[in-house]
Amino acid sequence: MEYQAGQQPQPVCVVAQHFCAPYPVEITVQKKALSLSGADFTVTDSNGNVLFKVAGKVMSLHDRRLLQDAAGNPLLTMKQKTLSMHCRWEAFRGDTSDGQNFAFAAKKSSVFQLKTALDVFLAGNKDEKVCDFHVKGSYFDRSCTVYQGDRILAEMKRKHTVANVLLGKDTFVVVVQAGVDYAFIVALIIILDEINKEGTEED
């Protein structure tokens, strides 16, 4: 999908319209080093205000994550599909994994891969022959880019600070383009982290 100069890109809305800002949004994703549920994340804007919280479901441990807004309202439940060769995760609206609330799925582009690559399919894409979005990069360098066709939707890079190193925290800076649902981008980053963590544990 190519965009000509001066052409207004179509908005990308997956979670909710109010997460599609008319300007680029820079957000910071901070991951706690130790958590009972595997990893908890806090997402803030450029002023340090909390946008989202991501918590693990303690009862189910590693296979489920809940994306909440700043007030603690559930937005997406992300769940790993068991017995999947491609490390498939599925996202559902709200605090449920009911099929009627299915929003999207993300999985490894191939079973064996050295570089990070995820294919993302929206709920309406039933046959999943062509992905709606693609994530690629180097998770070892903690950097990745989210694409819709040839269009760049968001870019993530690791933020190196002395405090992060001392406290054992992973912090990522993500720039989300105008009109792109930044709650959706955060959900993709959480799934990406989970899939790569699984790969590290298997090595």
Most confident of 11-25, 42-56, 88-102: 11-25
Please compute the mean of the pLDDT values over residues 35-57 and round it to a whole number.
79
Phi-psi category of residue 149: left, alpha or beta, with phi > 0 → left and psi -120 to 50 → alpha? left
On the 0-12 / 13-18 / 19+ scale of CB atoms within 10 A, 47 is exposed
For residues 13 and 159, give the distance between their C-alpha atoms in angstroms, rounded to a whole number: 27
Q: Has residue 200 got a pLDDT over 50? A: no
Q: Check residue 1 and give its pLDDT.
A: 42
Confidence bin at 2 (pLDDT 50/70/90): very low
Residue-averaged pLDDT of the chain: 81
Instruction: Give 53-92 pLDDT, tens digit per residue.
Output: 988 755 554 578 899 999 999 999 999 887 666 688 999 9
